[in-house]
């Protein structure tokens, strides 16, 4: 362990060893990293624990600088563990560089099958007694972290003092097809709102798409195609995303001796926004987090997209309609255009075809829940369907919801301490 100070916070870096396969505790072990945070003036106190589960899948816990955002509120009363879930951050990595150590694509897919919420919860339960002495702790789950929290309520409620969920109530029984069938209309609404705010972007997007249809570009090995350009719509799920997308588009073209071309500035910004180099598990495991039972996920987002022809960029250019952005979906072409994913294409195919996913949620346990739970549901959240979330909320005994359109999916980050404050008040019956 190593400790260091930042404004208002003492951080301690901690490492834990857990089984890759919890059904074989004596087998292969992997390492998990967690950053402990405590208020500077309370480092020696016996404080209750809160463990933070980041969204994703595939993202390490946020790297805070001091007592910023919601963390400043949390350390007023908790000792916080910012956990890098298995395969992310400083935990044993899983990416194009490390996965070949497992063997070929089949071995890699079998390895990654252990990287869903069920094993993340088992990891937490192995870590918890080491930190709390056996006492239950509070879980704060953002997005996919909320999915993990619902799994926690299903499988190990005895480890929980309270659960706080932000933008992360999953459907308990929807197949991946159902998830994306609900997602595309939401995405279309977000795109319409963006174009209403920035009508000049309609023509800009059409011009960029037309250029890419004739001249796909390559930046540092990352190929930009019309579909890749459309995937910038993932930005529209955040509170400032529409504005960021607008500023990105306004710098698209530059005049050169060879004619008009896409600017290096634009291409680099798009590459940065769409690369999975820093979070490849997001692409590899994105549909697997919905897998339950024998039906494969089978590239659900790609198949379901065919039901929404308005998202076809070339078709949009044949008429006078807007080019629709996409986002929050993974497609086979991602593993062709992104150099961080290209070596993992066959592994992704095997995960998409897998038919032995274990059930993730126990509806009986959830209906009998005794753990205080509160969830922020962001109305018309681009990433998590509101109807799915509210049906799940109604299935978890005692869960209290805060439904709001004040924030987008990143409300926990954007809202400072307000979102966490509200959820804590809900689980304590203070509002």
Annotated catalytic residue 143: yes
Residue tagged active-site, from 114, 175, 334, 409? 409
Helix (H) or strand (E) segment spanning residue 164: strand 160-166
Quick one: 159 and 253 in the same domain?
no
- The DSSP bridge pattern shows strands 373-378 and 400-404 to be parallel
Q: How far apart are CA 44 and CA 373, in angstroms?
A: 29
Q: Which of 303, 305, 246, 245 is closest to 274 using CA atoms? A: 245
pLDDT in the model for residue 377: 98
Quick one: 78 and 8 in the same domain?
yes
pTM over 0.85: yes
pLDDT in the model for residue 66: 92
Structure tokens at 250: 């306004």
What are the two backbone dihedrals, phi and then psi, of residue 264, each rounded to the nearest 5 degrees?
-60, -40
Q: Which of 352, 377, 393 corresponds to the end of one domain? A: 352
Quick one: 221 and 143 in the same domain?
no
CA neighbours within 13 Å on the CB side: how many for 148?
Answer: 28
Quick one: 90 and 110 in the same domain?
yes
Quick one: 30 and 168 in the same domain?
yes
pLDDT in the model for residue 220: 82
Quick one: 316 and 257 in the same domain?
yes
Containing structural domain, residue 316 = 176-352
Residue tagged active-site, from 24, 46, 320, 356? 356
- At residue 315, the 3 state secondary structure works out as helix
Neighbouring residues of 166: CB distance < 8 A, sequence distance ≥ 6: 140, 141, 142, 143, 146, 375, 376, 411, 412, 419, 423
The pLDDT averaged over each successive group of 10 residues in the chain (431 residues) is: 93 98 97 98 94 97 94 97 98 98 98 98 98 98 98 98 98 97 97 98 98 89 95 97 98 94 95 96 98 95 97 95 94 97 98 97 98 97 97 98 96 94 97 85
Residue 154 belongs to domain with CATH number: 3.40.50.1820
Quick one: 188 and 169 in the same domain?
no
Quick one: 195 and 321 in the same domain?
yes
Taking CA atoms, 404 is separated from 108, 167, 233, in Å, by 41, 11, 22
Quick one: 321 and 381 in the same domain?
no
- The DSSP bridge pattern shows strands 259-262 and 253-256 to be antiparallel
Q: Which of 352, 372, 391 corresponds to the end of one domain? A: 352
Q: Are 326 and 187 in contact (CB under 8 A)?
A: yes
Q: How many domains does the chain have?
A: 2
Q: How far apart are CA 144 and CA 165, in angstroms?
A: 10
Quick one: 290 and 316 in the same domain?
yes
Residue tagged active-site, from 91, 117, 143, 275? 143
Annotated catalytic residue 329: no
Annotated catalytic residue 356: yes
Quick one: 199 and 155 in the same domain?
no
Q: Which of 305, 327, 352 corresponds to the end of one domain? A: 352
Please confirm whether the linkage preceding 415 is cis (ω < 30° from 0). no
Q: Are 57 and 286 in contact (CB under 8 A)?
A: yes
Quick one: 228 and 341 in the same domain?
yes
């Amino acid at each position: 362990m190593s400790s260091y100070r930042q404004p208002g916070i003492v951080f301690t870096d901690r490492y834990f060893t857990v089984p890759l396969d919890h059904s074989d505790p004596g087998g292969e072990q992997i390492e998990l990293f967690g950053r402990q945070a405590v208020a500077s003036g309370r480092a020696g106190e016996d404080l209750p624990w809160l463990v933070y589960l980041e969204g994703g899948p595939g993202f390490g816990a946020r790297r805070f600088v001091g007592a910023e955002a919601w963390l400043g509120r949390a350390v007023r009363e908790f000792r916080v563990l910012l956990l890098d879930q298995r395969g992310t951050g400083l935990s044993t990595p899983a990416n194009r560089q490390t996965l070949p150590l497992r063997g070929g694509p089949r071995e890699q897919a079998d390895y990654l099958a252990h990287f869903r919420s069920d094993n993340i919860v088992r990891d937490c339960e192995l870590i918890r007694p080491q930190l709390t002495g056996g006492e239950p702790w509070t879980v704060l789950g953002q997005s996919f972290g909320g999915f993990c929290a619902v799994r926690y309520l299903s499988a190990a409620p005895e480890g929980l003092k309270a659960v706080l969920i932000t933008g992360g109530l999953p459907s308990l029984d929807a197949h991946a097809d159902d998830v994306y069938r609900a997602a595309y209309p939401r995405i279309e609404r977000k795109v319409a709102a963006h174009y209403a705010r920035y009508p000049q972007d309609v023509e800009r997007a059409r011009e960029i798409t037309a250029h890419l249809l004739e001249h796909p570009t390559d930046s540092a090995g990352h190929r930009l195609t019309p579909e890749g350009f459309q995937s910038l719509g993932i930005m529209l799920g955040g509170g400032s995303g529409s504005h960021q997308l607008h500023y990105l588009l306004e710098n698209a073209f530059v005049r050169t001796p060879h004619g008009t071309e896409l600017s290096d500035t634009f291409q680099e910004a798009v590459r940065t926004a769409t690369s999975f180099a820093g979070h490849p598990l997001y692409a590899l495991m994105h549909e697997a987090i919905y897998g339950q039972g024998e039906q494969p996920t089978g590239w659900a987002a790609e198949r379901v997209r065919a039901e929404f022809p308005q998202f076809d960029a070339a078709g949009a250019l044949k008429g006078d309609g807007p080019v629709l952005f996409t986002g929050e979906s993974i497609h086979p072409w991602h593993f062709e255009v992104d150099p961080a994913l290209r070596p993992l294409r066959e592994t992704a195919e095997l995960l998409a075809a897998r038919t032995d996913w274990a059930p993730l949620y126990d509806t009986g346990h959830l209906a009998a829940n005794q753990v205080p739970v509160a969830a922020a549901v962001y109305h018309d959240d681009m990433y998590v369907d509101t109807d799915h979330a509210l049906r799940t909320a109604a299935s978890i005994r005692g869960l209290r919801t805060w439904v709001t359109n004040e924030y987008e999916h990143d409300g926990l980050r954007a809202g400072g301490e307000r979102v966490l404050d509200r959820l804590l008040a809900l689980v304590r019956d203070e509002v």
